[in-house]
Amino acid sequence: MDLRKFRHAIALVEGGSFSSASETLHISQPALSRSIQALEADLGQKLFERSTKGVRLTAAGAILIPRARALIRQANEIEREAAQLVSGDAGKVEIGFGPMFSHLPAELIDRCWVKAPSVELQTHILPIERMTAMVMNEELDFFVSDSYAAKTHAELSIEPLAELAVGYHVRPEHPLADHMSHDMAELKAYPLASPNLGEPSDGASTAGWAGHVGCEQLDSLRRLAHRSDAVLLAMDFAVSEDLESGRLVTLKVRGYEDWRSHVAIVRLADRTLSPVARRYCEATRSLFEPADNG
């Protein structure tokens, strides 16, 4: 069906005459007349009674024109939704975040979702091994985490975002918080509090500690470090508020003076991101860009 002809018929109903409708449509009266005649021929029904006083709907027209209005509304809605999909203002996106980045979903909601709430956004805070598997199975569009576990998968695209310091942090009253350098044996005399980060490539692990609490909720680990002698393993930026306020201090550990995490956006290399996923990927990338203080 030709929606243009239906639009002409609706304009004729609203204008009440060919002259008024043609002026509204910015076409000539003969062109409008030919369009209406063609529509009536397509439908096999006469839609309008013509007279010197104007036009009025036939019985068939009174039934079909309201349905044409509904059809036009649906077509307009499809065009609007298609435009939103192209712009990234609609659709579905699923993003994973490592435990150290559990604050990023809130920032993405503020930057992206609030401006275009038609998007169905799903976020997950998970260990990197789980997120790697989910991206491989196309259950996530992309994830943000340390890239170490993803490097062994040739199918994945790894886009570096930042190198962030990693350290062991304790409350200022902790026996090791003496501003001296310590070795790992001294740290392991106390319990370890850490997200499930896998086995870091530099050899640090959860083995040999006096105890271990593993949790994907960083806030729970922070509270544990505030109230006990547990040693918190975390990226410095993830506990920056605690470090700035003095609620936590970073230990000096021999052999780990320049321990850094290679943070990246990870996704399938051969999968083209949808417009909405691309929009959120670009917003995620911007969260790691240096602030412009100029």
- Strands (E) located in 236-283: 249-250, 252-253, 260-268
**139 and 119, same domain (yes or no):** yes
Instruction: Give the integer Cα–Cα distance in Å for 100 and 236.
Output: 9
Name the pTM for this structure. 0.66
Instruction: For residue 292, tell me if it sits in a domain.
Output: no
With contact defined as beta carbons under 8 Å apart, do 257 and 166 qualify? Answer: no
Instruction: For residue 23, tell me if it sits in a domain.
Output: yes
Count of residues making up the chain: 294
Structural domain harbouring 179:
165-259
Q: What was the pLDDT predicted at 127?
A: 87
Residues above pLDDT 90, as percent of the chain: 60
Which CATH number is 32's domain given?
1.10.10.10
Q: Per-residue confidence at 153, pLDDT binned at 50, 70, 90?
A: confident
**137 and 72, same domain (yes or no):** no
- pLDDT, one tens digit per residue, over 4-63 is 999 999 999 999 999 999 999 999 999 999 999 999 999 999 999 988 888 999 999 999
Give the CA radius of gyration of the chain.
31
Query: Which tokens is 58 given?
Result: 């036939």
**81 and 217, same domain (yes or no):** no
